[in-house]
A and B are shown apart, each in its own frame.
Chain A
Amino acid sequence: GAVVSQHPSRVICKSGTSVKIECRSLDFQATTMFWYRQFPKQSLMLMATSNEGSKATYEQGVEKDKFLINHASLTLSTLTVTSAHPEDSSFYICSARPPDRGKGGEKLFFGSGTQLSVL
């Protein structure tokens, strides 16, 4: 089945630093990837939709200058948390879907997530 790889799995950083998270689709080309954030005991909250070759679409309330998304190729999207603060500590998960609808194209495949802890 489709595989999505996400790195790193865990990051501990100091306040004010920037952290980059990578999401790769390993065996399919993903024109669209999704970035979610999940706080403890909360649902996955969609942050943005990453579109290959164009600007990401951010959900209301998500600062695009703070959460930089780059989808430079059909297999890689990156999320950079700039000038991270303790309130940014969360579980970040990416997901992607194969491009062919009706052939499992509506199923999502998830990365393993990144636990970010900002001290």
Chain B
Amino acid sequence: RKEVEQDPGPFNVPEGATVAFNCTYSNSASQSFFWYRQDCRKEPKLLMSVYSSGNEDGRFTAQLNRASQYISLLIRDSKLSDSATYLCVVTTSGGSYIPTFGRGTSLIVHP
């Protein structure tokens, strides 16, 4: 089983739609969680951190479910510019810090 798993998609949605991605992680000792956005042939860019209480940034909402070991990302009112790959990143602290990436979920927003 991979440490961090994501549905690769692609998720094909019309503008204005609401779309949600999940990411599951296998290490129960994981402590920090992030969503990154990556455009084709570009570096990943931090979209948002994910906290236990959940957090929202404009149209984006991230949730963490420690009991079920998954995080989610909800995008409301999708824009064409949201088309990208969304990477889930999980880190385990305490000693060697190495972030683990999911393979990413591809989102395509069409007119």
Contacts and interface: CB of A to CB of B under 8 A. Distances in A.
A112 interface: yes
Given A34-B99, A43-B87, A93 B43 contact: yes
Contacts of B41: 91, 113, 115
Interface of B: 8, 32, 34, 41-46, 49, 87, 89, 91, 93, 96-104
Contacts of A111: 43
A49 interface: yes
Given A43-B102, A46-B98, 11 more contacts: A32-B97, A34-B98, A36-B101, A101-B93, A106-B93, A108-B44, A108-B46, A108-B89, A110-B45, A112-B42, A113-B42
A44 B87 contact: yes
A91 B56 CA distance: 32
A42 B43 contact: no
23 contacts: A6-B43, A34-B99, A36-B101, A42-B103, A43-B101, A43-B102, A44-B44, A44-B101, A46-B98, A46-B101, A49-B98, A93-B44, A101-B93, A106-B91, A106-B93, A106-B97, A108-B44, A108-B99, A110-B44, A111-B43, A112-B43, A113-B41, A115-B41
Contacts, number: 47
A20 interface: no
A107 interface: yes
B43 A110 contact: yes
Contacts of B34: 107-108
Interface of A: 6, 32, 34, 36, 41-44, 46, 49, 91, 93, 97, 101, 106-108, 110-113, 115
Contacts of A107: 34, 46, 49
Contact of A106 (B8, B32, B104): B32
Contacts of B100: 46
Lowest 10 A-B CB distances belong to which pairs? A43-B103, A110-B43, A106-B32, A44-B101, A113-B43, A112-B43, A43-B101, A110-B44, A93-B43, A106-B91
